[in-house]
Structure 1
Amino acid sequence: MTDGTDTGPALYPAFRAVALAVPGARALVGYDGTEATYADLLAGVDAAVGELAARLGPRDVLGLAVDDPFTFLSLYLAAARLGLVTVLLDSRLSAPERTHHAARFDVSWLALDRQPASGRGGFTLRETDDAEHHRARAATGYAPGDWVVHCTSGSTGEPKGIVMSQAAIAARVRLWGGELELTPADVVLCPLPLAHCHGIDVLTLPTLLAGASVVFARPGRLTGRGLARRIEDSAVTLMSGLPVLYQLLTDAQQVPPSWARSLRTVISGSAPLGPDLQERFHQRFGVPLRQVYGLSEIGVICFDKAHTGHGSIGTPIAGVEWRLAPAPDGTGGEDLHELHVRGPALARGYYRDPEASAEMFEDGWLRTRDLVRADPGGWYVRGRLSGFINVAGHKVGPLEIEAALRGCPGVLDSAVVGVPDPEQTERVAALLVTDDRFDLAEVRRLLAERLLSPQLPQRYAYVPAIPRTPLGKTDYTAVRRIMHAQEGSSQ
């Protein structure tokens, strides 16, 4: 097990110290409302330690594909105690997808929810096919100190594994927890999967190590009214989620501002937050909506703690070193730079993917591949290098166009991509969700006032809802498919 040098105690000792100090305090509330104290969770962790130690050896890699929060955390912290390399898998993966991920990351044992669930869920351990082969590969693929692997999809859809030490996880939790200023009196809402960095590193671990309570809401099954009721009933003081979550709340009918009276901090992250939604949320509920920016490779990078607003990501948090590299030619004006960061929370690279590692990790720095405008009062992300649209040599970022579209009457949501154009490399194409107020001529007039000529969409198509990933991010691959299918009917 890694020793967490310069980051404070490693995760299990840190959690155990909190649990022994406040054993009767509420640690978590599950999806169904079942509560668990710190003593309950510590007992669950220690029981999982015993079961994992009895079945897994030092050459094994654990695939954690569990949905129930109590069970997930019991296994996660048990793996921390034992120093087992642990791959966090989305519990919603199909069996073939789970098999593919297990083979990709040399998982020899899978932890799954017990079916049917009983009590606080429980788990089963299943040895994978070709487990001995995976053990042999893991021995050369993983390095000493490797502990957790976060799975993320690349541009081809092939999963990449972000490999982190326990020291790196402890550092990101400590640094971000300091920004949140959590106390044992806080109640934190987690509406994201624990297999995702936002769910485990940004929300759950800082809460537990502060002796506070975390309330879980099942991702993908939320309505605005139901979410508001859960926040009000649980007296939630801090919440964080994707912009689509705040769209649900803002658009929900008959949701009074009183649901937000217990909240002291509301955060949006994991996808760009449009200034229009940020302002509408604040106006309707009276609570500032602050944006956080980070990558799974290093955790939180920037936080708009002072609430600059207007889509700002704030400035880098303590413990994150940064540098602004020149933007590639054609990707914007002199005020745009590619952001590079480093610090104790940085991952070591991607599992068995030297090309992707070389592209993102450079001499101890992480190349975010994001272009930012670093104003003194707050920074702004203007797009990812891979997402820029080449319009006759002009590199156009879609985020600014999407924000401008959402600010037009009748446009409820938008997604912007580049589509092939034989005359100028690519055209800007906009996929819109609209209502009765929408008038294309008026939208074009407003965009002409707000955007430069190369940024103006040349194709429009319409859908009832923008396609999203299971996490809630815009699914740009699906957007491109829709634009291609509607080629003949677009305006």
Structure 2
Amino acid sequence: MTTPTRPSIADLFRSVAHAVPEREAIVHRSLRRTYAELYDRGERLAGLLAARGLGAHRERDGLQAHESGQDHLALLLHNGPEYAEACLGAFASRVAPFNVNYRYTAAELKNLFADARPAVVVYHATLAPTLADVLDELVGAPLLLQVADDSGNPLLPGALDYEEALAAAPSHGSRPATSPDDLYIIYTGGTTGMPKGTLWSQYGIWRATLGGAAFPEEVTAADVALAAAATPGRRVLGAAPFMHGAGGWQLLATLLSGGLIAIPDRVHRLDAADVCALIERERLETCALVGEAFARPVADEMERRTYDFSSVRAFVVGGGATSPGTKERLLAALGDRAVLSDGAGATETGRIIQADLTLGEKAEPGVFALTPRACVLDHARTRTLEPGEPEIGWLAAHEPLPFGYLGDPVKTAATFPVVAGRRMAVPGDLAELRADGRLVLRGRAATTINSGGEKIFAEEVERALFTHPAVRDVLVLGRPSERWGEEVVALVLLEAEADDDQLRGQAARQLARYKLPKEFVRVPEIRRSPAGKADYVWARSVVETVAKGKT
């Protein structure tokens, strides 16, 4: 089924693991796992899934763009070796893995699972209580694999202990022939509304963002393995959450190139001292940080204490805005041997714009170079813009692209239009092209707030606050934050007394903590048009006035 020049991720990892079996693949706390060990554990999980009849039931050529013919596996996990094993085991068994935000409340998890319909859930024990609250409302009874952790939570009813299940599964056996069109599902963070499952083919995502662009079109898995064996492999920091698109891509890209990914000891939150000690101890070369929320604490720690970062060749920031000052501080600590790479993209495109900075250079906020797959469409989405055209258009990317959104043909057609005979992805970022060919990113058209790398849909927060009986009207927006890039602010019109804790507590029943407003601004009215549309110009002026009053 798999053609020699279009390998699946399962094909690629198998070949790389066989080429460098004794090379270390993952380091986490005291655990050091080689490629041979990682491959064996992935194969055991694949055997377990296949033995239960899970896998692909309809081939891609018989499906529409928004359809999946495979069973789905939910990755409800913090960063750890199990995240990689579950991905690789799913790929090998033709089960499609998908990411789950471990911060979700039971209500949010219920909505996600209603859309994704997982046949398997691999989850850390600390997340078992949240998962338990939604199991009775799921369609079908998924296989539950519980990964033990420091929480000590017992197994959920009917769940299997992850380690025991792998130990009992065969390390080798009959495995289905994989296809390059087998799915890798990535759920959005809610930029276009509620999260949507983006259906990437394994070959497509490898070509787009996992390292495949470095190889010619005619390439085999053996060719990729030879290239991996010919180099010592990159040593990469795995601090960015794997449950986000960029973090998961970094994990897979590292493993498909024969590199090592080192995961900090603390995975529930960022610990800058832990991260810096890990970079020094493991002699890491590439360090990815999620915007200002990660970059600034690391810069603080690098200035507080001296670390040996002579191995570092690149800091990669993305997933949220990083201030020019923080970028300069990171580079100053590293010296002239390293580059700081800032980039952006979307779940539907991968990283498609980039700005590299070295010591002494000044960054222009929001200005990037386009990668070969990127372009800017005119506002009507009928053609690509040329450099210097005085029009703000849509940042777009061309193939390889996802097939579409799971279960949503309308949104699929809207986001992946055909422009001048070429299929494009238009996720919703506004941009313009300078005469020098560089891109100025203007931001999302949708009312989305990016706080610490987390995408927060303003209307979702508004709906949660509207459930409080004292709230007559509410408008949610983001404001600049040195710590988080942006933070959530709610303008509220109340018809009864309610303090901030009461409002926040009501919203917390439906929303993850990171989505809760940092501040509530009480106003005598919420300005709206006759059609009910919010006046965001007025709203931002109110927020700015409040901020100035505190300085």
1:430 CA displacement: 4.7
Measure, in 1, the Cα distance between the counterparts of 2:478 and 2:256.
46
Helix, strand or coil at the partner of 1:130: coil
Which residue matches 1:205? 252
1:431 CA displacement: 5.8
Contact 2:285 2:313 in 1 (8 A): yes
Q: Structure 1 residues 17, 128: CA separation in 2 closer, same or farther (over 3 Å shift)?
A: farther
Contact 2:378 2:391 in 1 (8 A): no
Q: Structure 1 residues 157, 226: CA separation in 2 closer, same or farther (over 3 Å shift)?
A: same
Helix, strand or coil at the partner of 2:433: strand
Which residue matches 1:49? 46
Asked whether 1:267 is paired with 2:316, we answer yes
Asked whether 1:40 is paired with 2:37, we answer yes
Measure, in 1, the Cα distance between the counterparts of 2:479 and 2:127.
45
Which residue matches 2:377? 324
Q: Structure 1 residues 67, 221: CA separation in 2 closer, same or farther (over 3 Å shift)?
A: closer
Which residue matches 1:229? 277
Which residue matches 2:425? 366
Amino acid in the other structure paired with 1:204 = L
Out of 72, 89, 93, the position equivalent to 1:82 is 93
Q: Structure 1 residues 477, 127: CA separation in 2 closer, same or farther (over 3 Å shift)?
A: closer
Q: Structure 1 residues 367, 433: CA separation in 2 closer, same or farther (over 3 Å shift)?
A: closer
Measure, in 1, the Cα distance between the counterparts of 2:261 and 2:81.
11
Which residue matches 2:242? 194
Which residue matches 2:206? 170
1:86 CA displacement: 2.5
1:433 CA displacement: 6.3
1:326 CA displacement: 3.9
Which residue matches 1:456? none
Helix, strand or coil at the partner of 2:211: helix
Which residue matches 2:412? 357
Asked whether 1:381 is paired with 2:381, we answer no
Amino acid in the other structure paired with 1:271 = G
Helix, strand or coil at the partner of 1:194: coil
Measure, in 2, the Cα distance between the counterparts of 1:220 and 1:4.
41
Amino acid in the other structure paired with 2:252 = L
Measure, in 2, the Cα distance between the counterparts of 1:271 and 1:299.
14
Measure, in 1, the Cα distance between the counterparts of 2:79 and 2:319.
22
Asked whether 1:304 is paired with 2:358, we answer no
Contact 2:283 2:311 in 1 (8 A): yes
1:335 CA displacement: 5.5
Amino acid in the other structure paired with 2:440 = Y
Amino acid in the other structure paired with 1:264 = R
Measure, in 2, the Cα distance between the counterparts of 1:205 and 1:427.
36
Amino acid in the other structure paired with 2:369 = T
Give percent identity, aligned residues only. Answer: 23
1:115 CA displacement: 7.8
Q: Structure 1 residues 68, 368: CA separation in 2 closer, same or farther (over 3 Å shift)?
A: closer
Select the structure with the greater relative contact order (CA < 8 A; seq sep ≥ 6).
Answer: 2
Question: Runs of 5+ in structure 1 lacking a partner?
Answer: 118-125, 134-143, 389-397, 403-414, 418-425, 435-458, 468-473
Q: Structure 1 residues 489, 350: CA separation in 2 closer, same or farther (over 3 Å shift)?
A: same
Measure, in 1, the Cα distance between the counterparts of 2:111 and 2:140.
13
1:212 CA displacement: 1.2
Q: Which structure: greater strand fraction?
A: 1
1:312 CA displacement: 5.2
CA RMSD of aligned residues (A): 4.3
Measure, in 1, the Cα distance between the counterparts of 2:350 and 2:90.
20
Helix, strand or coil at the partner of 1:311: coil
Measure, in 2, the Cα distance between the counterparts of 1:156 and 1:199.
20
Alignment of 1:257-296 (within 5 A): 258-286=307-335, 287-296=338-347
Question: Runs of 5+ in structure 2 lacking a partner?
Answer: 58-70, 129-134, 143-179, 216-226, 382-388, 459-474, 484-490, 492-499, 505-512, 524-541
Asked whether 1:130 is paired with 2:128, we answer no
| Deviations, residues 395-443 of structure 1 (Å, cap 9, x unaligned) | xxx99xx9xxxxxxxxxxxx9x9xxxxxxxx999856669xxxxxxxxx
1:157 CA displacement: 5.8
Amino acid in the other structure paired with 1:231 = I
Measure, in 2, the Cα distance between the counterparts of 1:16 and 1:102.
30
